[in-house]
Every structure is written in C-alpha cells, then in structure tokens.
Amino acid sequence: MTDTATLEPLAEAAPAAKKELTEALLYLDAVTVTFDGFRALNALSFTVDPGEMRAVIGPNGAGKTTMMDVITGKTRPDRGDVFFNGGTTDLTKLDETQIATLGIGRKFQKPTVFESHTVLDNLRLALKGQRRALPNIFRRESAAERERIDEIFETIRLTEHRDRLGGALSHGQKQWLEIGMLLAQDPKLLLVDEPVAGMTDAETAQTAELLRAINANGHSVVVVEHDMTFVRDLGVRVMCLHEGSVLAEGTLDQVSANERVIEVYLGR
C-alpha cells in the first residue's frame, strides 16, 4: 500500500503507549463515533495482540458492531486512532477493500453470504488470491486452490452442501459458511459478530471449537457474542462494552463478577 501512514503522528506519545502500540496487532485509542449527536463509541481504547482471541460482550446498542465498522473502514471515526500491524498502518485512512486486503476479515451480525451463488462459489470468491477485475475474466482454479477449498469444507462441515445455493442454507449453516469464507480469505485478524445467533446448543459448541481451532492456527480473533455459554466455551479474555467504551476487561469470571457489568448487562 502506498498510502499507509507511518508512526509519525504518535512519535511524541509516551514510551509506554508507544510500546503498547508497536506490539499490538490492533490498536484503538480514544475512538469516538457520533450519529446525529448520539455517541455510539465514546473514547473507546483497547488493543489486540498478535495471535490473541478476544471476546466482546455488552448490552444492545453498546457499540460492538460500530467498533467493527470503524476497524473495517465502513465508518470513519470522528476522533481517535486506529492502527494495525504494530502501528504501521492507520486504518482510518483506508477504505474497506484496502483494509480487507491488509488482512482483516469480517463476519457480519446478520449472516451475509452470496445467496444466488452455490456454497462452493461462495468459498471460491472469498479464497485469497487475485482480486483485480481484468485478470479474473480469464482466471482458472488451480489444484492447490481446489484442495484448500476442500479443507475449508471439512472444517466448516458443509461438504455435502457445496452445490446448494447460499440462499438455501439454514441460518446456522450460513453462519458457518460465512466463517468459512473468512478462513478462505486467510486474514490476520478475524472480526466475528454474533456467530452463534440462531444456532442449536450443539452447533454453538461446535462453533466455539471451530473458532478456537482457527485461533490456534495463528489467526487473531475478536468475537462479539451475547451467548454466555459460548463465551465460556471460548475460554479467552473478555471485554465488556457499555455506551461506547470499555466497562471491564479480564477473564470471564472477573468480568462477570464486576458490579457495573452485572448492573448494565448480566443482571437484566
């Protein structure tokens, strides 16, 4: 990328903050987003380390989806810094496509697959590779690509659905397909918004297992989820958002013991 920002704007930051920045895969500092005067994100700051998996919880309207919108370039923050790759890349200067190309993949809250394409074509489209228009007119699928897709099919357990249309899948299957598409993209960081909504208990457990496997393979993951059993299954660091900022952070037990968290979220 030619238009990636350097460390310059932060050169004068305190040494501690700088170390945090250079070691983080994702670094958000004092990010504020307002919609018609309403603060969806309010000076939100946190970091995600390389290889880390992080769960994000919080009541409806806490700003979880907006946080992902900011990271992926869908929404521009009014104020604040969003850096990727140890502070080398300023995400607020890039658009969705550039950010995706950098290695940030996203699963939407409402499962979004290409409905009139087959499940197989959905994965083909997502698979890491040529993205430019003209070369893709003459593109042929390589044996390596075919193998990789077969692997992903195994992982997301949709092998026998490969020739069905994306739109014909059940809600839970769409969620998995979308995770599979993320895997195919092979991003450094996966942002996963409510992956188990509409899933049975068994499917939920399988999804936790799947995400843990993805994380174990070296991908960093940020998962937003309301399902506490699922969050417990993940067994990772938890962050609770409320009114656009971090209310509490720590292990699930620490966070769920926090009085404020119980008050605004768990004790509803």
Ligand X SMILES: Nc1ncnc2c1ncn2[C@@H]1O[C@H](COP(=O)(O)OP(=O)(O)OP(=O)(O)O)[C@@H](O)[C@H]1O
The one of Mg ion, ligand X, another protein, none whose footprint includes residue 124, by CB under 5 to 8 A per kind, is: another protein
Rounded to an integer, what distance in angstroms lies between the CA atom of residue 231 and that of residue 226?
A: 8
Helix H or strand E encompassing 220: strand 220-224
Count CB-CB contacts under 10 A for residue 93: 14
Contact between 126 and another protein (CB under 8 A)?
Answer: yes
**Contact (CB, 8 A) for 31 and 77:** yes
Quick note: the x/- pattern for ligand X over 79-118, rule CB under 6 A, is ------------------------------x---------
Which of the stretches 30-38, 117-125, 214-222, 232-240 binds another protein when contact is defined by CB under 8 A?
A: 117-125
Nearest to 67 by CA among 241, 255, 257, 201: 241
**Could you tell me how many residues of this chain bind another protein (CB under 8 A)?**
40
Among 11, 14, 16, 137, binds another protein (CB under 8 A): 137
Least Å from the CB of residue 259 to another protein: 38
Contacts with Mg ion in 1-60 (CB under 5 A)? Answer: none
Residues 90-109 that bind Mg ion (CB under 5 A): 109
Does 64 bind ligand X (CB under 6 A)? Our answer is yes
Among 51, 61, 86, 198, binds ligand X (CB under 6 A): 61
Tokens read off for 89: 């890349």
* Binding of Mg ion by 112 (CB under 5 A): no
CA–CA separation, 105 vs 28, rounded Å?
17
Rounded Cα distance between 77 and 32, Å, is 6
Site for Mg ion (CB under 5 A): which residue of 10, 65, 85, 204?
65
Q: In what order do the strands lie in the sheet with 38-48?
A: 38-48, 26-35, 79-84, 89-90
Q: Which residues, listed in sequence order, are joined to residue 193 by a DSSP beta bridge?
A: 224
Q: Pick the stretch among 27-35, 42-50, 104-112, 226-234 that binds another protein (CB under 8 A).
A: 104-112
Q: Which of 96, 91, 86, 67 is nearest to 19 (CA)?
A: 86
Query: What SS3 state is found at 194?
Result: coil
As a whole number of angstroms, the distance between CA 205 and CA 201 comes to 6
> 88 vs 109, which CB is nearer to ligand X?
109
Rounded to whole angstroms, how far apart are CA atoms 153 and 121? Answer: 12
Residues 40-59 that bind ligand X (CB under 6 A): 40, 58
Q: Does 116 bind another protein (CB under 8 A)?
A: yes
Summarize as ranges the residues that interact with another protein (CB under 8 A). Answer: 72, 74, 95-97, 100-101, 105-106, 108, 112-118, 121, 124-126, 130-134, 136-140, 160-165, 168, 181, 185
Summarize as ranges the residues that interact with ligand X (CB under 6 A). Answer: 35, 40, 58, 60-66, 109
